[in-house]
Every structure is written in structure tokens, then in C-alpha cells.
Amino acid sequence: MSINYKTSRRNLLKSTAGLAGLAAMSSIIPGKRAFAADLTVGFVYVGAKDDYGYNQAHAEGAAAVKEIEGVTVVEEENVPEDVSVQKTMESMINFDGASLIFPTSFGYFDPHILTMAKKYPDVRFEHAGGMWQADKHPMNVGSYFGYIGMGQYLNGITAGHATKTKKIGFVAAKPIPQVLLNINSFLLGARAVDPTITCQVIFTGEWSLAVKEAEATNALADQGADVITCHVDGPKVVMETAAGRGAYICGYHANQSSLAPDKYLTGAEWNWAKVYTDMVNTMKGGGTIDNFIRGGLKEGFIKMSPLGPAVSDAGRQQFEETQAEILKGGFAVIKGPLNDNKGNVIATAGQSFVETDVALESMNYLVEGVVGSTS
């Protein structure tokens, strides 16, 4: 359905532009200009809108934007990270009149968003990731992201209280900085409870490989990991397999508690609804959105799933205390003395990297206590 729609739009684009473009356009545009406050916002997803993970989290944000009065939302899913995303953005701009676009996948940025931003300087492009630089990139492009590593730290605290084997597990896709920060944070959260805990990590090599994710989860359970979390695009397989093996689970991207309510401790969720409505309201009010936006728990960019029944009272207390600490701002998960798991010094005593430190966005190590390797 969506494919047909796109093709017909594109054909329409060709014919109108080729033959009587101006005449045809002028009949559309005045209608839109009659309502100056109206705003059309476009969302582009790399996968299915309801993948129970990364894309769904963004789509829920888009759903919140729809509720704002005078705002129209257009969406397209399963758009590959190639020239098709440029066509999608172009059709959103020309036919839906979108003046703010959220291409949500990491690989959309260079060169696709940059090309479109130069071609349509009046349209605002907002990208989830971390690559906008003032001296290199157009001013109508912005970057936003959340400190979800803090959420994995809190996951780790509940895991530290729940584990009996003192071994926790992490199914990871690829060893990129955001994933490594999540793994390290999960372990350090657990070590805030008991410093003897270790975390086994297994990389699957891809964002979405159902069978390999299930095998990795089983291998972790075989080795005695009794709390498992993950960083893959759709955590459903890991959650179901882990719970099926009797392990506790910590969610990621979205709330997965309904998959195994008894085993679900808590989860680190995106809260794009808040981020997106803020940005759209700024734009609607005639303001300018910052080019570099970051936020964590305090700013409402991320949130935690409600604690499950398996979390002990001690666990609940430490979770709430730590969450309150983080909410004050300036919390550091990576702080000295700390070595990586090869024995290199990451931070000396007294040295710390607070959540806002950009150095964390180029993380390339696993900390001591994580069993695994980045290559």
C-alpha cells in the first residue's frame, strides 16, 4: 500500500514538474498558506513502525506530535539508508508541504540529509545520532540524542540485586560507542550493588538477526547468566528466550514487560514523545530549534519502565536513590579508578566522565568485569 502511494506520488511529481509544474503547484500552495500556524512534520523510519524496539519508540513520539493542534504528521517506514530516503524526504517536502523532517536512522545523515538540506534551505532536518558539527554542516540540520546509558545503569542496579549467580548477560549487535556505553553502564550499575558481579557480552554482528539473538541468549543462560538485557533493534526475541530459560530480563528501547511480567525487572525506554513535541512546539511558535540537543532522565529524553514484582525492596530503594541522584544532573557512570578489561587505565582516582561528556560518544573499550571483546 505505502509503496503504491509513494510511486504514484513520485510519478505525479515527474509529470507535474515536467509539464505544468508551476500552474499545478500554485493551485496547492495558497490553500496551505491560508493557515500560517499550520505545520507539517515528516517522520522516516528504517524498519517497521511497530518493531517493539527502536523504530516503534520513534513512532510513539510521532503519535504524540499528531495530538498537537494545527500539526499534520506524515510517516514512511522501511526506508533503506540509500537514495530512497532522499526521495521520501523530497516527496514529503513537495507534496505534503513538510517543513520539519525527522529521518530517524543513523545512516540517513551523510550524504542523504546533507544533500536535501542544501537543496531545501527553508526546511528543517532533525537527525537522531551524534554527528552535526557547526563548522561542517548546514544550519538547517540538527542532531538530537538521549543519554540512554544512564537507563542501562539503572537496569544494572536492579540486575545486581536480582542475580544469584553474580553473572549477568548482554546480547549486543555491533561494538559501536553507544552500544559499548550501554554494556559498560549495565555492568557498572550491577557493580554498584556487588563489585564481584561480571557481565558476559555476546555480539551478534547485526541489528536484527532473530536466530542468532536467540542462540546468544541461550549461550548466556548456559553459562549461568541469570539477568539478561540487550541492545538490538527489536528486543522481543531476546526477552522471550531469556524469560523462557528462567532468567530475569531488563528491557531496552521500549517497555517489554508484557512479554514476561514476572521476569521483567525494569527497562530503559526512549521518551521521544517529549523530545518531539518540544521541538515541534518551538518551531510552531516561530522559534529556532538548537542544532545540538542532548538530554537524559532529567530532561525527559529517556524514562524507566515501572519496576516489576521481582525487584526486591533493597533493589527498589537503591534504584530510586540512584535515579534521584541522576535527576540532579552531572552524574558519572564512568569514574576512576577504572580499568578496561585489557588492563588499560580508563580513569584515574578522582577522574570522572559525566553523562554530558562528549568523550563518551567515542567510547571504544569494555570496562573491567565485562567478559567480551570489541573485535
Partner 1 sequence: MGGDIGLWGVPLAILGGAIRVSTPFLFVSLGECLTERSGRINLGLEGTLVFGAMSAYAVAYETGSPWMGVLAAMIAGSAFGLLHGWICSLPKVNDIAIGIALMLFGMGLAFFFGKSFIQPVAPDLPAINFGFWSDYTQVQAALKVNILFLIGIAASLGLWWMFRNTKIGLIIRVVGDSTDAARAMGLRPNLVRLLSTAAGGALAGVGGAYLSLYYPGSWNEGISSGQGLMAVALVIFARWNPIYCFWAALLFGGAGALGPALQSVGVTQGYYLFYAAPYVLTLAVMILTSSASKTMTGAPAELSITK
DSSP structure class, residue 71: E
Positions in 63-122 near partner 1 (CB under 8 A):
78
What the block records as the C-alpha cell of 29 is 500552495
Q: Which residues contact 241 (CB under 8 A, 6 or more apart)?
A: 213, 214, 217, 218
Span from 61-69, 141-149, 196-204, 292-300 in contact with partner 1 (CB under 8 A): 196-204
Instruction: Based on the shown chain and the rule CB under 8 A, indicate whether residue 209 belongs to the binding site for partner 1.
Output: yes
Exposure of 166 by Cβ count < 10 A (0-12 exposed, 13-18 middle, 19+ buried)? middle
Rounded Cα gap, residues 201 and 183, in angstroms: 8
- How far apart are the C-alpha atoms of 105 and 100, rounded to whole Å? 16
**Whole-number minimum distance, CB 136 to partner 1, in Å?**
32
Q: Residue 41 or 202: which CB sits closer to partner 1?
A: 202
Q: Is 243 in the site for partner 1 (CB under 8 A)?
A: no
Torsion of CA 62, 63, 67, 73, to 10 degrees: 50
**Order of all β-strands in the sheet with 227-231:** 302-304, 264-270, 248-253, 227-231, 167-172, 198-203, 370-371
CB under 8 A: which stretch of 60-68, 207-215, 266-274, 278-286 binds partner 1? Answer: 207-215
**Residue 174, interface with partner 1 (CB under 8 A)?**
no
CB of 137 to partner 1, least distance (A): 32
Question: Could you say which of 113, 114, 162, 220 contacts partner 1 (CB under 8 A)?
Answer: 220
Residue 243 CA to residue 259 CA, distance in Å, equals 9
Site membership for partner 1, residue 205 (CB under 8 A)? yes
Q: Can you tell me which of 46, 51, 89, 183 binds partner 1, judged by CB under 8 A?
A: 51
Nearer to partner 1, 215 or 361 (CB): 215
Sign of the dihedral through C-alpha 38, 4, 28, 287:
positive
Nearer to partner 1, 52 or 252 (CB): 52
Note whether 197 and 166 are within 8 A (CB). yes
254-273 residues near partner 1, rule: CB under 8 A: 258-259
Q: Which stretch binds partner 1 (CB under 8 A): 92-100, 115-123, 146-154, 245-253?
A: 245-253
Q: Confirm or reject binding of residue 210 to partner 1 (CB under 8 A).
A: yes
Contacts with partner 1 by CB under 8 A: the residue count is: 48
User: Is the separation of the CB atoms in 59 and 45 below 8 Å?
Assistant: yes
Choice from 16, 72, 218, 282 touching partner 1 (CB under 8 A): 218
Beta-sheet pairing, 124-128 with 100-103 = parallel
**Interface residues toward partner 1, by CB under 8 A:** 1, 47-52, 78, 164-165, 200-206, 208-216, 218-224, 226, 234, 236-237, 240-241, 245-247, 258-259, 371-373, 375
